[in-house]
Amino acid sequence: MEARDAILASLVTLVVCGCGRRSVIPDDPPSPRGSASASVPVDSSEPALAALRSEAAIIPMAVDGFPDAVISMPLGATSRRPIVVATHGMWDFPEGLCDDQRWIFHDRVWVICPRGRPMPDKTFRYDSADSLEREIDADVRALEARYPGYVDDGAMLYTGFSLGAILGVAVITREPARFPRAVLIEGGEDKWTPAVAAKYAKAGGQRVLFACGLRGRVPAAQQAASMLQHAGVGARAVLGKLPDTGQFIHWYNGPIAEETRAAEPWLFEGDPRWGVDAQAP
């Protein structure tokens, strides 16, 4: 009982402050799918590379003209790996979301977390979809330059939390072929219209997962998912509950991350680069 009360107290603290520095999920739990490196298909047409090594899995990366990004590395990779672009919320930090995404994907992919503009309170934010898009472009170029041969910059997964999700709708619908799959966490559901959904579908959009922490977001997320489905894009809305409570949070980790990981076979269906066993919707 005391252990459960301690866990609930820490989760309530996250709800009250609206921000945090560390995930409530344990660091690097064993992958339920076995070895991450072994599960990712290797392109036999390319020469094998030395296994990618680093003293730390999550590190800062210098980016010309922009603040340092944060990246999660696919340790042990001997071939090109795809990219997850993970964008944080308003007045937030990239480190926390990068840690969360590493828990989901481990060593199967690169995760790039754009930092955004520094704020007076030492946090960061993205000013607009245009500025975020430019920062993403610069981050991808920096990653390719720093790790030549290890980066697959083809179709990427866009993950956005709160402001990152809101701005993300504009980012992914401008270049659906570049971001055919997206996870929008606690935001962005109200940016979809039938016309926007049709545009995304026509140019290559394939999957959108709306991951909700607040129960009140679910109806709008379901409506957006319905628009996308009608346009021909696979879409789902999920809600993550806190353990042993009826509370819900505006956050991206814990039960929300678990819902995302559970949806991976559906999210990546048809694209073996992500190293998961796809399943029909």
Residue 17 falls inside a structural domain: no
Residue 117 lies in a domain: yes
Asked, for residue 59, whether it belongs to a domain, the answer is no
Q: What is the arithmetic mean of pLDDT over 176-185?
A: 98
- Reply yes or no on whether the pLDDT at 10 is more than 50: no
Q: Domain of residue 141: give its range.
A: 66-274
**Domain of residue 94, CATH code:** 3.40.50.1820
pTM summary value = 0.83
Give domain status of residue 2, yes or no. Answer: no
Q: What is the pLDDT of residue 242?
A: 73
Neighbours of 24 (CB within 10 A): 17
What confidence score (pLDDT) does residue 6 get?
Answer: 40
- Written as one letter, the residue type at 98 is C
Query: Number of structural domains, the chain?
Result: 1
In a domain, 3, yes or no: no
Distances (CA, A) of 139 to 57, 81, 110, 239: 17, 16, 12, 31
pLDDT band for position 276 (50/70/90)?
Answer: confident
Given this model, what pLDDT does residue 21 score? Answer: 33
DSSP 226: H
Count of other CB atoms within 10 angstroms of residue 191? 16
- The single residue listed with the structure tokens 């946090």 is 123
150 and 52 in contact (C-beta within 8 Å)? Answer: yes
User: What is the CA 137 to chain-centroid distance, rounded?
Assistant: 16
Contacts of residue 137, Cβ cutoff 8 Å, sequence gap at least 6: none
Tokens found for residue 20: 């945090």
Residues 52-73: pLDDT tens digits? 999 999 999 999 999 999 999 9
Report the pLDDT value the prediction gives residue 155, as an integer from 0 to 100. 98
* 183 three-state secondary structure: strand
In sequence order, the 6+-apart residues with CB closer than 8 A to the CB of 60 are 68, 69, 70, 71
> Given the structure tokens 């210098």, which residue do they identify?
62
The answer as to whether 250 is a domain residue is yes
Give me the pLDDT at residue 244, please: 62
pLDDT reading at 170 higher than 80: yes
Instruction: Give the residue-averaged pLDDT of 111-115.
Output: 98
Tokens 């790039």: give the residue: 112
Q: Higher confidence at residue 13 or residue 104?
A: 104
Q: What is the pLDDT of residue 17?
A: 34
- Residue 4 domain flag: no
Q: What is the pLDDT of residue 4?
A: 38
Least confident piece of the model among 44-58, 120-134, 256-270? 44-58
Average pLDDT, the chain: 85
Largest CA distance in the chain: 56
50 belongs to a structural domain: no
pLDDT (0 to 100) of residue 31: 35
**pLDDT digit string (tens) for 30-47?**
333 333 333 455 455 667
